[in-house]
Amino acid sequence: MDLFALTRALVEIESVTNNEAMCGEFLFQHLAPLAAKYGGRVERMAVEAQRFNVLASWGKLIVTMSTHMDTVPPFFPFSEDEEFLWGRGSCDAKGIMAAMIRAAEQLLEEGISDLGLLFVVGEERNSAGARMAAKTPRGSCYLINGEPTENKLCLASKGALRFELRAKGQLAHSGYPALGRSAIDALLDALEDIRHLALPADSLLGRGTLNIGTISGGRAPNVVADEAQAEIMFRLVGDADPVRDAVHKAAAGRVEVREVLYTPVFHFSAFDGLPTSVVAFTTDVPALNETWGTPFLIGPGSIHVAHTAEERISKRELRDAVAIYVSMVKRLLSSHAEGPGKSQ
């Protein structure tokens, strides 16, 4: 299956977070013949019921290429024009997955092994697959993680801090609001103060940001709401504690605050000869915590269209990514063979 056909096959499998099993099974079946042909192995790495990572490896695992198989909602199907491949996951990150598979095929055809492919679940929500993989490392010395960076090597990525806010009120007839207590009013008041927090800035990563991702609550338009909730996410540029403290202070006495995810800011190693960037999103790399080796972050596609109804990936960038991954694996294997301290 060529690069574009493989991307199409992957995109056409709906794999919104928590529904990755069909994608994982496709990857397992697709990689099994490649593993058999070149003396490798492929396995399902259990994460939780009906969810598993897929690992394929050849020889002694020194360099691992990795990305995620889950996508954000909503799913929309594949389409193609002369310049782009479109569809949910096309750039985040199924096109990347296809490029990594094609790079592995090319390397194996050239007689090069000591490499692996690790495809994980749950990156878009809580990095569940990466956290499980971190508990079962296989000795890999280098990790090439794929996210949409326009084929530029990422030098640093922002962190993430996610909270659930929950307000409680008292039911009443909306004609007599003084007899009740609106949970929605309490939630909105807290959110208004949180929206105006002064967030830290960093000379490399810029300023921290806030997104209010979901809001829900209430019973009916003629009922004073007894419950309301929201999910919010900060993109961090430094220490999380000042942001945590400010959120709890803004919410105090009005809403319950529960922290559900923390991912720290991450600074990556350099790799000579590649253009560089910094990114405002988070990845699986901090969750893997270098258990799969020194990490590098690079992939085709633009993050500006990921998570949107315009998600697409350039065919040219996709082809270029294969060559980039092949070159990086070869250089990392060579560096490893020459011993520690050798520059990439």
Active site residues: 123
End-to-end, the C-alpha distance of the chain in Å comes to 32
DSSP SS3 for 112: coil
Q: How many CB atoms lie within 10 A of CB 5?
A: 10
Pairing of strands 115-120, 276-279: unpaired
- By C-alpha distance, which of 246, 158, 231 is closest to 201? 158
- By C-alpha distance, which of 239, 262, 315 is closest to 86? 315
Residue entry with tokens 């960038």:
317
Cα three-residue angle 16-21-22, rounded to 5 degrees: 90
DSSP codes of every residue in 32-75: HHHHHHTT-EEEEEEEETTEEEEEEEESS--EEEEEE--BPSPP
Is residue 61 within 8 Å of residue 140, measured between CB atoms?
A: yes
Q: 68 to each of 37, 146, 343, how far by Cα in Å? A: 25, 8, 28
- By C-alpha distance, which of 73, 118, 68 is closest to 96? 68
Pairing of strands 79-80, 256-263: unpaired
Query: What string of H, E and C letters represents the secondary structure of 170-229?
Result: ECEECCCHHHCECHHHHHHHHHHHHHCCCCCEECCCEECEEEEEEEEECCCCCEECCEEE
Q: Which amino acid is at 153?
A: L
